[in-house]
Amino acid sequence: MDFSSFLTSLVTSFLIFVVLMLLFAWLSRKEGNSVVYYPNRILKGLDPPASGTRNPFAWIQEALSSTEQDVISMSGFDTAVYFVFLSTVFGILVLSGVVLLALLLPVAATDNSVKVTAATTSNGTFNEFDKLSIGNVKEKSPRLWAFMIATYWVSFVTYYLLWKAYTHVSKLRADALMSPQLKPEQYAVIVRDIPPVPEGLTRKEQVDSYFKAIYPDTFYRSMVVTDNKVVNKIWEELEGYKKKLARAEVIYAQSKTTGKPGGVRPTNKTGFLGLFGKKVDSIEYYNGKINELIPKLESEQKVTLREKQQAAALVFFTSRVTAASAAQSLHAQIVNDWTVVDAPEPRQILWANLPIKFFQRQVRQYVVYAIVALTIVFYMIPIALISAFTTLEQLKKLLPFLKPVLNIDAIKTVLEAYLPQIALIIFLALLPKLLLFLSKAEGIPSLSHAVRASSGKYFYFTVLNVFIGVTVGGTLFNTFKTIQKNPPDYIITLLANSLPGNATFFLTFVALKFFVGYGLELTRIVPLIIYHVKRKYLCKTEAELKAAWFPGELGYATRAPGDLLIVTIVLCYSVIAPLILPFGAAYFGLGWLILRNQALKVYVPAYESYGRMWPHLFVRILAALILYQVTMLGYFGVKKFYYAPFVIPLIILSFIFGFVCSKKFYRFFHDTALEVVCRELKEVPNMELVFRSFIPQSLGSEKFDDDQFEDALSQVSRTTSLV
């Protein structure tokens, strides 16, 4: 990429961001758009700002002046922890940049002894950028000491801020768990791997007798997990017909006001997708289907509760301390019997995973890891192909018939500026659903845990494929013949030289991500268009209208790995090409500002894990730091700097730092500290409500009472969840 292409990419990205900002300022002031730009406030009963009278840029001041408690009250503790992550990385990059830009740019720019090197930052074409990077420093130069000092500075800044963040997040988690607000999950545990039922007992009697013997004073009751596949299907079908009936009734009511006084009764066809089959009166048809399914559902509920009990249960205690102790204790001599773990929120439980046996979970985990590893390996091929198209020279070689088109200056500039970055962003958008599916397939019991596992897989995928794949892949296509002639000697040099050779690619990648990516995030142009199209042509009922504008969650499964990829890129290039640091700082600073606004006004969390995501973020930031240190060790070696081994103590120190943090902090994020849950609540908890909040919706019924199901789930009428 030449200098003009780089400037084109940067300037146009910035202009797009400015246009999107102005578009947001205009659209967010229109009254009909409030449900798109302020749904979180509306759902919490708060009024959106009055349209037309609002300062279009007041959101910036509101985001900057908001406190951590504001974020917690609107979006929960997990969101607050995510902002700790953003601010920590922003601090690392700012403190690193202040020193590195002042120290390294003059050192590199004033060394005129190198005209062209193998380790330029832009494949030898972007000389203006090379002069401000380590590529402009000659081999064995004493100036490399400045870059060595910078490597240490970045590392120690990262250690310090990560330690502060871990301490702060630990306090946040403690505050959340000590909250006087009733949390049903604090009184429950999940029991898996229940042994076969002894003769003469039911499954419920087996579970009750086991836990009554161990916890005679605080055991409350149990809920045996059942196979709900059939009952779920019937319940979903019933709910679907209820929605269709509500829609038909609204259409009928509207027809009375717009047409004949008696109205026109809606009709539909009973065949595939309502396109084929007999034509019937919709209201009568849906009422008939509902009346037919209700007794069918009740019958299946009884069968499910009595005959489809499985080897897993939820056990409830009257004491939070007992529940926390039980989740951390070994209950049976054999590890694959009576496995007890803490219960997640009711809305998080992956019911189908609870009965999966201990050794089956182990096998599933290894199989999933193998599939993910194979996915990474096979995705390397298309990623490497994308990297080969990073330069137009490669495109001309591989597709010579395009030369006349590619030689046009305007097309050449646009393709060099945007093609590789956009291709990568689109390519990565295909992965998250697959990785979340694989994580759930491991047998993980809660949604938040599955999201964390999926996020980890996505991070390693992006680092290995996008970062290392693009870096090494692009160089492999350029130098394959050289490697064939002299493989042993050249491969080591290749690996060290390939990273700086793609600095400008990643610099524009980061710029595109924060200018265009965050601009689209703020504007919410796609959700806005979808909402208005649905409202005008599809939505008839209030429930349909709410579903059209409901914002969903922040999306940690994809957002956090994307951020961590940027952390990895910026850290690894921080000393090699220090100009990337302002771009990295802008990415996290702008992200903090815009996502702060979205957390306060837009997104609604799907679950709450009270900061359990932080150790996973911490480990991956540390992994990025270690990769950066290994990169610098190799690069100093390529520069033939005799003191390159001085980086080795840093790598060892990073592992020690990670080990100390794990021993000091991690256990509290895995288990609940008893001193935290021993605090008394303001009110004595209603244990029956705690129990009911865990009953699956498909098993709740107004007609059931405790006496009917003494040997199964003690089903009672379902009330509103406490969570």
Q: Is residue 542 part of a domain?
A: yes
User: In the prediction, which pLDDT does 398 show?
Assistant: 61
Confidence of residue 92 (pLDDT cuts 50, 70, 90): very high
Residues in Cβ contact with 78 at an 8 Å cutoff, skipping those fewer than 6 apart: 448, 556, 605, 607, 608, 609, 610, 611, 612, 613
- Helix and strand element counts for the chain (H, E): 31, 6
User: In the prediction, which pLDDT does 51 show?
Assistant: 57
Q: Is residue 69 part of a domain?
A: yes
* Domain end call among 643, 660, 676: 676
Confidence of residue 256 (pLDDT cuts 50, 70, 90): confident
Confidence of residue 723 (pLDDT cuts 50, 70, 90): very low
Confidence of residue 368 (pLDDT cuts 50, 70, 90): very high
Q: Is residue 189 part of a domain?
A: no
Q: What is the mean pLDDT of residues 248-267?
A: 82
- Proportion of the chain above pLDDT 90, given as a percent: 45
Rounded Cα gap, residues 199 and 55, in angstroms? 73
pLDDT per residue over 553-610, tens digit each? Answer: 888 888 898 899 899 989 988 988 888 899 999 999 999 999 999 999 999 999 999 9
Mean per-residue pLDDT of the chain: 83
Question: Does residue 385 sit in the same domain as residue 287?
Answer: no
Rounded Cα gap, residues 146 and 142, in angstroms? 8
pLDDT per residue over 109-131, tens digit each? Answer: 787 665 544 444 444 444 566 67
Of 469-478, 538-547, 601-610, the range with the lowest mean pLDDT is 469-478
Q: Nearest to residue 519, comparing CAs of 594, 581, 582? A: 594
User: In the prediction, which pLDDT does 67 show?
Assistant: 93
Question: Does residue 39 sit in the same domain as residue 71?
Answer: yes
Of 128-137, 204-213, 227-236, 537-546, the range with the lowest mean pLDDT is 128-137
Phi/psi for 310 (5° steps) reads -125, 175
The more confident residue out of 270 and 350 is: 350
Confidence of residue 141 (pLDDT cuts 50, 70, 90): confident
Residue 336 has pLDDT above 70, yes or no: yes
Q: Is residue 330 part of a domain?
A: no
Q: What is the mean pLDDT of residues 157-164?
A: 97
Residues in Cβ contact with 35 at an 8 Å cutoff, skipping those fewer than 6 apart: 42, 531, 549
Question: Does residue 396 sit in the same domain as residue 478?
Answer: no
Question: Does residue 436 sit in the same domain as residue 538?
Answer: no
Of 202-211, 247-256, 612-621, the range with the lowest mean pLDDT is 247-256
The more confident residue out of 74 and 108 is: 74
Q: Is residue 686 part of a domain?
A: no
Question: Does residue 481 sit in the same domain as residue 621?
Answer: yes
User: In the prediction, which pLDDT does 381 show?
Assistant: 64
Q: What is the mean pLDDT of residues 330-349?
A: 92
Enter the tokens of residue 237. Answer: 């079908």
Question: Does residue 433 sit in the same domain as residue 553?
Answer: no
User: In the prediction, which pLDDT does 114 show?
Assistant: 54
- Proportion of the chain above pLDDT 70, given as a percent: 81
Question: Does residue 403 sit in the same domain as residue 290?
Answer: no
Please name every residue paired with 313 in a beta bridge, in sequence order, or none if there are none: 191, 224
Question: Does residue 458 sit in the same domain as residue 436?
Answer: no
Question: Does residue 258 sit in the same domain as residue 118?
Answer: no
Q: What is the mean pLDDT of residues 543-558?
A: 88
Give me Rg for the CA atoms of the chain: 30
- Domain that includes residue 642, residue range: 7-181+454-676
Confidence of residue 394 (pLDDT cuts 50, 70, 90): low
Q: Nearest to residue 451, comparing CAs of 348, 550, 361? A: 348
Confidence of residue 408 (pLDDT cuts 50, 70, 90): confident
Residue 274 has pLDDT above 80, yes or no: no
User: In the prediction, which pLDDT does 344 show?
Assistant: 93
Residue 260 has pLDDT above 80, yes or no: no
Question: Does residue 458 sit in the same domain as residue 438?
Answer: no
Name the residue with tokens 């980086």. 647
* Domain end call among 676, 693, 708: 676
User: In the prediction, which pLDDT does 712 show?
Assistant: 42
Highest mean pLDDT out of 419-423, 430-434, 701-705: 430-434
Alpha helix positions (H), 77-224 = 77-109, 127-130, 144-177, 203-214
Surface-to-core class of residue 198, CB atoms within 10 Å of its CB (0-12 exposed, 13-18 middle, 19+ buried): exposed
How many domains in the chain? 3
Of 426-430, 513-517, 662-666, the range with the lowest mean pLDDT is 426-430
Question: Does residue 412 sit in the same domain as residue 489?
Answer: no
Residues in Cβ contact with 674 at an 8 Å cutoff, skipping those fewer than 6 apart: 321, 324, 325
Q: Is residue 226 part of a domain?
A: no
Q: Is residue 601 part of a domain?
A: yes
Q: Is residue 326 part of a domain?
A: no
pLDDT per residue over 63-80, tens digit each? Answer: 999 999 999 999 999 999
Rounded Cα gap, residues 314 and 361, in angstroms? 19
Q: What is the mean pLDDT of residues 167-196?
A: 91
Question: Does residue 472 sit in the same domain as residue 433?
Answer: no
Q: Helix, strand or coil for residue 687?
A: helix
User: In the prediction, which pLDDT does 156 show?
Assistant: 96
Confidence of residue 647 (pLDDT cuts 50, 70, 90): very high
Of 477-481, 531-535, 654-658, 683-687, the range with the lowest mean pLDDT is 477-481
Helix axes 409-428, 358-388, angle to 10 degrees: 180
User: In the prediction, which pLDDT does 255 show?
Assistant: 83
